[in-house]
Amino acid sequence: MTIAILALQGAFIEHEQVLHRLGHETLEIRNLADWQRYCSEVPEADRRLVIPGGESTAMTRIMRDENLLEPLREAILHGMPVLGTCAGLIMLDPQHLATMDIHVRRNAYGRQLGSFTANATVAGLPSANEKPFPMVFIRAPYIESVGDGVEVLASVDSHIVAARQGNQLAVAFHPELTDDTRLHELFLSL
């Protein structure tokens, strides 16, 4: 498979490395021409997108300048699987791409002490209960509430840190920074 990676800024290379390790190819999306190339090379049913962590304000500004917001929003609403991590989760909320019915709090843990690690069960992963998922949080958001049709997959300290709505998978942490590939594999199976 060839997976599109939004590569405007942030932690996109780490996602590419995980996907390459799992035997897949990636195409970096930096502008509308890249997206059009991806769409011409990959049939609609095989398209999928990773929106990495980084800085959601900067990412939004570049997406707007590059005219990427609308085409990506449309593709996601048409059912294209998407994995949003950290800032990528924020990008899916009603104030950004507006494809997921989630209410997000940005920099939810404060800016200074906002980086920490935790282990928690992520529903739907193989061996979910026996093998908690290692979670790296970097100035992370969390999800304050979800609408109908959104499944909560994981919580840490009673805050939602992973959720799924149809083919949209959103996590507040950085699965690309650990060796555990189960979340990427779940995304690839959508």
Point out which residues bind ligand GLN (CB under 6 A): 53-56, 86-87, 90, 106-107, 138-139
Closest CB to ligand GLN among residues 47, 93: 93
Q: Please identify, using beta-carbon distances, which residue of 47 and 86 lies nearer to ligand GLN.
A: 86
**Catalytic annotation, pick one of 86, 151, 159, 185:** 86
Q: Known catalytic residue: 15?
A: no
Is residue 159 annotated as a catalytic residue, yes or no? Answer: no
Give the nearer residue to ligand GLN in terms of CB position, either 4 or 104. Answer: 104
Three-class secondary structure assignment of the chain: CEEEEECCCCCHHHHHHHHHHCCCEEEEECCHHHHHHHHHHCCHHHCCEEECCCCHHHHHHHHHHCCCHHHHHHHHHCCCCEEEECHHHHHCCCCCCCCCCEEEECCCCCCCCCCEEEEECCCCCCCCCCCCEEEEECCCCEEEEECCCCEEEEEECCEEEEEEECCEEEECCCHHHCCCCHHHHHHHHC
Q: Is 176 a catalytic residue?
A: yes
Q: Which residue has the tokens 């059009």?
A: 36
CB of 69 to ligand GLN, least distance (A): 16
Phi-psi label, residue 19: left if phi above 0, alpha if psi -120 to 50, beta otherwise: alpha
Candidate list 15, 16, 96, 176, residue with the active-site label: 176
- Closest CB to ligand GLN among residues 47, 139: 139
CB 139 within 8 A of CB 118: no
Residues with catalytic function: 86, 174, 176
